[in-house]
Structure 1
Amino acid sequence: MPLPILRQIGIKSLKSVEHVVLFIISVATVFAIGEEIMHMFEIRTVELADLLLLFIYLEVLAMVVNYLESGKLPIRMPIYIAIVALARYLILDMKGMDDWRILAISVSTIVLACTVIVIRWGQLKLPYPKNKDLDH
């Protein structure tokens, strides 16, 4: 087999694996959402931690959809997920944390938020040049 054909087969195989894994992530996330909703019904209350967890799941699904539609994964989306996860962690365990841990989590959240701002500023002010070879 010529090398270009092997390369095409390799690319198609990897893309197939990629789509299977994205499907698994989506199904697992929807399952986790269902479990969380069932949990809220069982205890007959909705807490802020539950809502933040649902937002994390929603962001994961949005990330998968974005990746499927554009073929790109914006680095900001995982950072958003990390910010919400840190906020949830802080809300759930704040009473049992010492001051230094609370400060570290707060500073980490601020650093991540600043990172999003810097990335967004860079995308607006310093965009990648258009690749003429890719434009058809």
Structure 2
Amino acid sequence: MPVTEDENDGSVDAGRTEKLVMVAALGVIERGLLILVALMTLAATSVEVLSIIERRSVNLGDILLMFLYTEVMAMVAVFYTGKGLPFVYPIFIAITALARLIVLQGKDMDPQNIVLEASAILLLAIAAVVLLRFARR
């Protein structure tokens, strides 16, 4: 039997109202932060493109950095569209960041560190496959 306002002096309705206000406020904050992330990513992309134009050369590290920016934008888009699995995109970002680190510091890195980072990439890739495969069920 549901509790009515008469039986509980309105405290149940007040709790629901507070919950609705908090959910709405947190939703607005989340959307604002997502917009900020998208704008900051666009700004960082612009700075990187201008740097490439000034240098008049593109290297593999620059391309991987652009993939990182693209994946961040895709993650924001997934939150807005609801299509896709938002928790897989941070895994993709981590894989790309580790690959970029290996590419940029590969010659100067200890071979053991390269193997460890490559192992981390493999572990993340396996996690992404498992999440994508079993999340659809």
**CA-to-aligned-CA distance 1:72-107 (integer Å, 9 cap, x gap):** 852211111111111100000011101100110111
2:82 matched to which residue of 1?
A: 70
Aligned-partner Cα distance in 2 for 1:98–1:69: 42
1:21 matched to which residue of 2?
A: 33
Question: 1:1-136 alignment to 2 at 5 Å?
Answer: 2-70=14-82, 74-124=86-136, 127=137
TM-score, normalising length from structure 1? 0.86
Percentage identity across paired residues of the two chains: 31
Q: How many residues align?
A: 125
Look up the SS of the partner of 2:58 in the other structure. coil
Unaligned stretches of 5+ in structure 1? 128-136
Aligned-partner Cα distance in 2 for 1:117–1:41: 37
**CA-to-aligned-CA distance 1:101-122 (integer Å, 9 cap, x gap):** 0110111111111111111221
Pairwise CA RMSD of aligned residues?
Answer: 1.6
Q: Which residue type is aligned with residue 18 of structure 2? A: L
Aligned-partner Cα distance in 2 for 1:122–1:89: 30
TM-score, normalising length from structure 2? 0.85
Worse-superposed segment, 39-48 or 110-119: 110-119
